[in-house]
Structure 1
């Protein structure tokens, strides 16, 4: 039995499965690939625990449904979702539902490996989440009220234009607040900022 961390890669595109599994294997991971969420769910109860790298848009059953099924079955493997450019609101929903991260295609090898490393940490240290909440709330506390409003909008999956409309400010002002909050949170990407927001208990419930 391999002692390498295991990644279950679920994507209906053969080219993505091939290139992503190659990049992960050369980075020291064992990879099992699946052509659909349905195929993975058939064996999910019996496979070795690992991280799940899950495409969000697939025929028959999309990534959100697969994630929902895993949770319903009590399978607590950490999930990283793969998304196309227009699917960021879906990826935000996936993160609200417990995904560790999301990656926008096409992604660089370093970004992929960093996301999987975070998922492995989650797999090995589930108790860390309580500490994360206090730490995240501390980070959020450094933001101005308007920066928190913008972060709240992002955490609800809204694009800059929608946030601008909701807050009655210009899209350019939203961009400035977004850049400032990313800097204060030391977030290199939107998914990093969202992880902090969700850990801190954002967003507030919306009707």
Structure 2
């Protein structure tokens, strides 16, 4: 879905026709307030946003919304380098001046839709991963940072004040609940969850511990 926000009805009408001719669904709004009042579809989207809007500047709005809205393609009749740099630095897909080139605008919109599609997929994957993490017991959550930090069982067990056997049991259950087929995969999953790496001073004797 392409959301078009411009206070010039002629621009909205022209863009709506362009989207329809290109096989893209679109909705137009005369202001940011009107756009915010509309419930967005649960589908990949792109926000085509004018810069000079009543009540709230498009660039200021961009900085307020963070990742809460679809990727933005700016269109403006008063483009300048500082505004372009500001928009791109905050994640805009493109910054086009009126009269814009239809082909360039459509290419930017399709890029934004693909970006949003990928971001939505990543959010769903992360949500599923977080649910797996929530299945861990409090003790297993304490053990996970030690495991992915590369500590041997004896070292991790010592940090938690438990036996080696109990640590081995925790490791097995963590692998199972996190659906990790290997240690490397567990490390990648923990990294996606931003599990902090646990730092511990390793003694020379620790490196000769043959207990995995």
Bin for the TM-score computed over the shorter chain: 0.5 to 0.7
* 2:50 matches 1:55: yes
State the distance in 2 between where 1:113 and 1:77 align: 16
User: After superposition, what is the alpha-carbon deviation per residue over 1:167-197, rounded to whole angstroms, capped at 9, x for unaligned?
Assistant: xxxxxxxxxxxxxxxxxxxxxxxxxxxxxxx
SS of 2:73's partner is strand
TM alignment of 1:60-71, pairs within 5 A: 60-71=55-66
State the distance in 2 between where 1:86 and 1:110 align: 19
Please, which runs of 5 or more residues in structure 2 have no aligned partner? Answer: 121-212
Which residue does the alignment assign to 2:73? 80
2:91 to 98, 123, 147: 98
SS of 1:125's partner is helix
Q: CA deviation at 1:86?
A: 3.8
State the distance in 1 between where 2:55 and 2:27 align: 20
Which residue does the alignment assign to 2:159? none
Q: CA deviation at 1:85?
A: 4.2
CA distance 1:90–1:12, change in 2 (3 Å): same
Tell whether the 8 Å contact from 1:56 to 1:90 is kept in structure 2 after alignment. Answer: no
Tell whether the 8 Å contact from 1:56 to 1:91 is kept in structure 2 after alignment. Answer: no
Which residue does the alignment assign to 1:113? 106
* 2:16 matches 1:21: yes
Q: CA deviation at 1:41?
A: 2.0
Tell whether the 8 Å contact from 1:53 to 1:80 is kept in structure 2 after alignment. Answer: yes
TM-score by length of 2: 0.52
Please, which runs of 5 or more residues in structure 1 have no aligned partner? Answer: 1-5, 128-207
TM-score by length of 1: 0.53
Q: CA deviation at 1:56?
A: 0.8
Kindly name which structure, 1 or 2, has the bigger radius of gyration based on alpha carbons.
2
State the distance in 2 between where 1:58 and 1:87 align: 16
CA distance 1:62–1:17, change in 2 (3 Å): same
Which residue does the alignment assign to 1:32? 27
State the distance in 2 between where 1:39 and 1:28 align: 24
User: After superposition, what is the alpha-carbon deviation per residue over 1:37-62, rounded to whole angstroms, capped at 9, x for unaligned?
Assistant: 1211233xx31141100001112111
TM alignment of 1:177-196, pairs within 5 A: none
Q: CA deviation at 1:22?
A: 0.7
User: After superposition, what is the alpha-carbon deviation per residue over 1:117-164, rounded to whole angstroms, capped at 9, x for unaligned?
Assistant: 11111111239xxxxxxxxxxxxxxxxxxxxxxxxxxxxxxxxxxxxx
